[in-house]
Amino acid sequence: MVNSSSCGSAPAPASGLRAGPAGGLAPPVVRFAPSPTGFLHIGGARTALFNYLFARRHGGTYLLRIEDTDRARSSQAAIDAILESLAWLDLMPDQPPVFQSTRSARHAEVAAALLEAGHAYRCWMQPEEIEAERARLRASGRGQRLESPWRDRSDGPADRPFVVRLKAPRTGETVVDDRVQGRIVFPNAELDDFVLLRSDGTPTYMLAVVVDDHDMGVTHVIRGDDHLSNTPRQLALLRALGWPEPVHAHVPMIHGPDGAKLSKRHGALGVEAYREMGFLPEALENYLLRLGWAHGDTELVAREEAIALFSLEGIGRSPARFDMKKLESVNRHYLLRADNRRLADLVLPRLAAIADQQNAARHQELLLRSMDELKARAKDLNALAQSAAFLVRARPLDMDAAAQRALDEGLGLLATMRDRLALLDPWSREALERVAREVAESAGAGLGQVAAPLRAALTGQAASPSVFGILEVLGRDESLGRIDDALASKVNGHGKV
Ligand code: GLU
């Protein structure tokens, strides 16, 4: 398993795909490898998306590895949150996730093989010694590389704990030929003999990631550029093992509108927060795709097209800035095109707190009928729910103050409209508008004066989509019922009519 000499991989063809056994191109294997220490960050979601698209573009496999080796910081809640967000984004892996914590015996086995082959050594330096050595290095100004006295000795004290370190190369250089960042040269003089196994025998991230990527057959590592500096170390480890090197693509971080790396102070970071804000998953996906990847200046790229167009070469080298306004406009685009029944299903739970549960089926029906009108005006599902609230509220509707005023001012016109509407046939938008005009004209009023109390009676609010559209979707019975409720409230409340 372990080669005694270093061995680089053959140069990859231009696409970054490896030659397969039969001389054709082997389908790539990629992975998304989140650490479950919190929600799924939108940067992580974008990494998952890029991996997914790359795999689909080339007929490959997209895997998920949950990097839960840090037991103190990992939690089941975080694992659930990550899986839920991936499911919501329709980015679930092609195979069940690999949990890194289940693989520690394999990690230890690889470390033992490296020891055996002389590529790793036991280091008995104690934390205080390491600290003192680091302080000495700092004071001497001779760089930061820690040199263990145990690199070429194995006669350490049997009763003291030790860690296992890689015997990293000290001369020459390590070149990372990154698909996004280009060719980056790291002098090996800067490589330290990093720890593979801690003194309690647990593997470090650096060992686990290399072993797992290899065992999972990963051919392309597409991840955030916060891991770029780990890459020469991982390559040193791979070379010691004589394992093939994957292609690397390090994607720049997402920055906030102020140009600083996206952080909590910029607001929401987790995918689930965007879900709650009422964004559609396909809109967030399209937005995240364009945030860091481009194909000309096409903004709207839905999944199928993204699969056809995606390439690592399209990923930009500099960090992109998160722009909420742009996300909202992408969301509007997808809302307009979304299936009405799906939107109704998404909006109804957001209305559960105010909805009249007795009439759920009827409300669903009303919501569906009004959806074209409602979705044309909404920027997200919450705004959509807000504008749809009047459809599902229990009757008699609560009136807001502005609606009360409109009603008080237009009670007579509303009563006249009620009588005309009762006789109207057909109940069509044109006929409704015609009647309203006639009523306005004969009262010497404007159309707005007729519409205002009508809107108040039908919605409980003073602002809404077109009142004729509302009459049309509510239908005759529901419209007259609501108007009667409003008139009755005034009779009972003020004895005016
Ligand atoms: N678990 C690492 C993280 O969440 C990613 C490791 C990798 O992609 O190689 O940052």
- For the chain, the domains span 4-15+26-254, 340-391, 401-492
Model confidence band, residue 4 (pLDDT cutoffs 50, 70, 90): very low
Nearest 5 degrees, angle CA 287-CA 293-CA 294?
95
Residue 35 alpha carbon to ligand 1 centre in Å: 6
Q: Are strands 163-166 and 120-123 parallel, antiparallel or unpaired?
A: antiparallel
- Tell me: pLDDT of 144 over 80: no
- Tell me: pLDDT of 382 over 70: yes
Residue nearest to atom 7 of ligand 1 (CA): 33
262 or 13: whose pLDDT is higher? 262
Region 165-179 average pLDDT:
97
pLDDT value of position 360: 84
**Poorest-confidence range of 26-30, 141-145, 350-354?**
141-145
- Tell me: pLDDT of 1 over 80: no
Region 312-340 average pLDDT:
96
pLDDT value of position 495: 40
pLDDT in tens, 449-492: 999 999 999 999 888 778 998 999 899 999 999 999 999 998 86
- Tell me: pLDDT of 299 over 80: yes
Q: What is the value of pTM for the model shown?
A: 0.89
- Tell me: pLDDT of 420 over 50: yes
**234 Cβ closer than 6 Å to some ligand 1 atom:** no
Region 258-272 average pLDDT:
88
**65 Cβ closer than 6 Å to some ligand 1 atom:** no
109 or 156: whose pLDDT is higher? 109
Residue nearest to atom 6 of ligand 1 (CA): 33
pLDDT value of position 18: 66
Query: 460 — alpha (psi -120 to 50), left (phi > 0) or beta?
Result: left
- Tell me: pLDDT of 6 over 50: no
Q: Please state, for a pLDDT cut of 90, what percent of the chain lies above it.
A: 78
271 or 262: whose pLDDT is higher? 271
Residue from 303, 244, 281, 221 nearest 32 by CA? 221
Q: What order do you get walking across the sheet with 247-251 strand by strand?
A: 98-99, 61-66, 29-32, 220-224, 247-251, 173-178, 182-187
- Tell me: pLDDT of 62 over 90: yes
Residue linked to tokens 């930009």: 316
Region 275-304 average pLDDT:
95
Mutation choice for ligand 1 from 31, 214, 227, 261, CB with most ligand atoms inside 8 A: 227
Taking the C-alpha atoms of residue 350 and residue 332, their distance in angstroms, rounded to an integer, is 18
Residue 205 alpha carbon to ligand 1 centre in Å: 9
Region 354-379 average pLDDT:
88
Model confidence band, residue 154 (pLDDT cutoffs 50, 70, 90): confident
Mutation choice for ligand 1 from 209, 250, 251, CB with most ligand atoms inside 8 A: 209
439 or 354: whose pLDDT is higher? 439
Region 428-432 average pLDDT:
95
Region 344-351 average pLDDT:
93
Residue nearest to atom 5 of ligand 1 (CA): 33
Residue 1 alpha carbon to ligand 1 centre in Å: 25
Q: CATH code for 4-15+26-254?
A: 3.40.50.620
**34 Cβ closer than 6 Å to some ligand 1 atom:** yes
Q: Are strands 220-224 and 195-197 parallel, antiparallel or unpaired?
A: unpaired
**248 Cβ closer than 6 Å to some ligand 1 atom:** no
Catalogue the active-site residues.
Answer: 264
* CATH for 401-492, options being 3.40.50.150, 1.10.10.350, 3.40.50.970, 3.30.930.10: 1.10.10.350
Residue 346 alpha carbon to ligand 1 centre in Å: 33
What ligand 1 atom has the least distance to the C-alpha of 34? 4
CA–CA distances in Å: residue 129 to residues 18, 123, 198, 225: 45, 11, 16, 32
Q: Do 4-15+26-254 and 401-492 agree at the fold level?
A: no
Region 146-175 average pLDDT:
94
Residue 53 alpha carbon to ligand 1 centre in Å: 18
The total of other beta-carbon atoms located within 10 Å of residue 211's CB is 25
268 or 29: whose pLDDT is higher? 29
Q: Please state, for a pLDDT cut of 70, what percent of the chain lies above it.
A: 94
pLDDT value of position 70: 86
**Poorest-confidence range of 94-103, 150-159, 166-175, 200-209?**
150-159
What ligand 1 atom has the least distance to the C-alpha of 226? 10
Residue 328 alpha carbon to ligand 1 centre in Å: 29
Region 246-266 average pLDDT:
92
Tokens read off for 242: 């004589």
What ligand 1 atom has the least distance to the C-alpha of 31? 8
**40 Cβ closer than 6 Å to some ligand 1 atom:** no
pLDDT value of position 225: 96
| Average predicted confidence (pLDDT) for the chain | 92
465 or 11: whose pLDDT is higher? 465
Model confidence band, residue 357 (pLDDT cutoffs 50, 70, 90): confident
Cβ neighbours of residue 194 closer than 8 Å, sequence gap 6 or more: 165, 166, 168, 204, 206, 233
Region 207-222 average pLDDT:
98
- Tell me: pLDDT of 282 over 50: yes
- Tell me: pLDDT of 21 over 60: no
What ligand 1 atom has the least distance to the C-alpha of 213? 9
pLDDT value of position 358: 83
- Tell me: pLDDT of 369 over 50: yes
